Amino acid sequence: MKQISKEYISGFEIIRLKEVESTNLYVRACLDKGLDLNHGTIVLAEKQILGKGMGDNTWDSEAGKNLNLSILLKPQSLPPEKQFVLNKAIALAVSDFVMTIIPDKEIRIKWPNDIYIEDKKVAGILISNTIKGNTLEDVIVGIGINVNQKNFPQNIPNPVSLRKFSKKKLNLNECLDSLCIFLRRRYEEIILGEIQMINSEYISRLYRLDEIHNFKSGDENFTARIIGVSEYGQLQLRTKYGDSLEFGFKEVEYVI
Ligand code: BTN
């Protein structure tokens, strides 16, 4: 773990690492050691040896081709029960960024916070929170964006990179600058209390919103329509029989 430089972009303090197990774990380890990392610190790695995905998944990313970063946030004004707002704001920021690079394709947020270009995943987000008393003490927001990678391992479901749609290889530093601008804007919306706007934009960008599709829950396959996402982040579906269902993460799968 060798830190090669430190800089600021849009008010975020950037720590660049050549190689690390996982940027999320690196931030966690710093906090556990009592290092005083500031709100808004971003740890960026050229290579992750054990990138973490949601649940038990891993995040595979070819060294030097993509953006792999974790942001430390200390959102003291956001009560723990409102933490899903942060997921929405981050997903919106990453999708804002993807939209500027690929303006002519449909960019969607696949619940809870994967970023899709048409039917392919271009970015994933992994958020872990530490709650102390009635405050979110620290939040580690891990973001992986496939930027210039051309080939992906067979076992990754539906991967794609920005490079597939951009006419040329993308400059990772320019991508980071742009992403940071959107992250700052969306975070400020939370601070300014623009929660209704975040909620409605998140819903309007949802992948497969209000369309009839197949889903899988346990051994059961069924057809339903996404009708929304609850305040606590549950996916809300309506079946063709008119039943309303709610699922937490990993309780339901999209059949794509
Ligand atoms: C997912 O889609 O399952 C979430 C993927 C999150 C990947 C990022 S890459 C930077 C950060 N460090 C990690 O170990 N994971 C996140």
Q: What is the pTM of this model?
A: 0.95
Which of 23, 28, 49, 59 to mutate to test ligand 1, by most ligand atoms within 8 A of the CB atom? 59
Q: Separation of 134 CA from ligand 1 center, angstroms?
A: 27
- Judged against a pLDDT cut of 70, whether residue 3 lies above it is answered with no
Verify whether ligand 1 is closer than 6 Å to residue 37 (CB atom). Answer: no
Q: How far is CA 78 from CA 69, 100, 135, 139, 197, in A?
A: 23, 29, 7, 11, 16
Could you report how far apart the first and last alpha carbons of the chain are, in Å? 38
Compute the average pLDDT of residues 6-34: 95
Beta bridge partners of 44: 16, 69
Beta bridge partners of 224: 213, 239
Which of 143, 156, 250 to mutate to test ligand 1, by most ligand atoms within 8 A of the CB atom? 143
pLDDT digits 0-9 by tens, 49-59: 999 999 899 99
- Judged against a pLDDT cut of 90, whether residue 171 lies above it is answered with yes
Q: Pick from 119, 14, 120, 117: which is nearest to 67 by CA? A: 14
Give the angle subtended at the CA of 1 by the CAs of 72 and 11, to the nearest 5°. Answer: 30
Q: How confident is the model at residue 168 (pLDDT cuts 50, 70, 90)?
A: very high
Q: Separation of 245 CA from ligand 1 center, angstroms?
A: 28
The DSSP letter of residue 15 is E
pLDDT of residue 2: 52
